[in-house]
């Protein structure tokens, strides 16, 4: 998740800066940036579903956890996630290569997906896959949450672990809902441009912050601040910083007349 989000943010930030500085870039480079951004964006909800299943196995089938969640199977799952997320969208490139002339890839365009992959069929295919992926992820999160909830009620000794897993899946659900904003953002952006015609760049900047940046802020909260050891050292660091600041403020200033 961390590597995927780092790649996604790096690529989207690069595209965002290029759109302000250069405005138009070569179609071939634009295809590369767009596809990487799409792959990593689609990876996020599938990663959330996979981690919810891992929490479900840890709480509801603890005796089989070590057999099911092995390192080898984890690598296989990561490969499967990338295949499922790359396969539907790489066809956009193949269709564009087949239908567009070579001259098209030497042009410079404002780097948006609809400016590069212009076939209307691709938009319908994209919408269909989006519905399938997010429906599957949503049902997975609901199923795992309910099973962990029932397990917490049945096993009093597992309440703490189940409570933590339940809270994690709820945060995954919030993160998934925020990620879904990327699929309605084009329509919202068009409506805002109609309402505020002279604020195109401001609208794009706000849309980028809300749709791509904010959902990624939840990952450090889920896997950082909620970790006991990390939270312990974070409190120690903040306490030490506060003490040093207080000590610096209480030290009397040096009188330069004594020198």
Give whole-number Cα distances, 2 to 43, 73, 80, in Å.
Answer: 11, 19, 17
Band (pLDDT 50/70/90 cuts) for residue 155 is low
Band (pLDDT 50/70/90 cuts) for residue 161 is low
| Residue 209, CA atoms < 13 Å, CB-side half-sphere | 6
Band (pLDDT 50/70/90 cuts) for residue 226 is low
Q: What does the DSSP 8-state code read for residue 183?
A: G
Nearest by Cα to 245 from 233, 256, 255, 237: 237
pLDDT recorded at residue 87: 86
Average pLDDT, the chain: 79
Q: What does the DSSP 8-state code read for residue 198?
A: T
Cβ count within 10 A of residue 102: 7
pTM, two decimal places: 0.73
78 CB contacts (<8 Å, ≥6 apart)? none
Give the pLDDT confidence of 49-93 residue by residue, as tens digits.
888 888 888 878 888 888 888 889 889 999 999 998 888 888 888
Band (pLDDT 50/70/90 cuts) for residue 158 is low
Give the pLDDT confidence of 116-134 residue by residue, as tens digits.
888 888 878 887 887 888 7
CA–CA distance, 180 with 66 (Å, rounded to integer): 33
pLDDT recorded at residue 127: 79
Extents of the domains making up the chain: 2-248
pLDDT recorded at residue 56: 84
Least confident of 80-89, 216-225, 249-258: 249-258
> 2-248 in CATH: which number?
1.20.1070.10
């Amino acid at each position: 998740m961390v590597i995927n989000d780092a790649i996604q943010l790096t690529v989207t930030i690069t595209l965002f800066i290029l759109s302000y500085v250069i405005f138009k870039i070569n179609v071939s480079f634009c295809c590369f940036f767009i596809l990487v951004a799409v792959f990593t964006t689609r990876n996020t909800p599938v990663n959330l579903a996979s981690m919810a299943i891992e929490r479900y196995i840890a709480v509801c089938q603890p005796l089989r956890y070590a057999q099911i969640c092995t390192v080898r199977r984890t690598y296989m799952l990561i490969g499967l996630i990338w295949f499922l997320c790359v396969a539907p969208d790489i066809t956009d490139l193949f269709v564009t290569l087949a239908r567009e002339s070579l001259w098209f890839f030497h042009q410079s365009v404002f780097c948006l997906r609809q400016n590069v992959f212009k076939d209307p069929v691709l938009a319908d295919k994209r919408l269909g896959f989006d519905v399938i992926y997010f429906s599957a992820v949503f049902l997975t999160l609901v199923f795992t949450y309910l099973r962990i909830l029932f397990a917490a009620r049945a096993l009093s000794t597992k309440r703490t672990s189940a409570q933590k897993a339940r809270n994690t899946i709820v945060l995954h659900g919030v993160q998934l809902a925020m990620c879904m904003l990327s699929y309605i953002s084009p329509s919202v952006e068009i409506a805002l441009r109609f309402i505020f015609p002279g604020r195109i760049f401001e609208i794009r900047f706000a849309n980028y912050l809300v749709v791509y940046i904010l959902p990624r802020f939840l990952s450090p909260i889920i896997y950082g601040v909620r970790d006991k050891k990390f939270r312990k050292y974070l409190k120690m660091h903040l306490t030490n910083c506060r003490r040093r600041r207080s000590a610096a403020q209480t030290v009397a200033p040096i009188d330069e007349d004594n020198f």
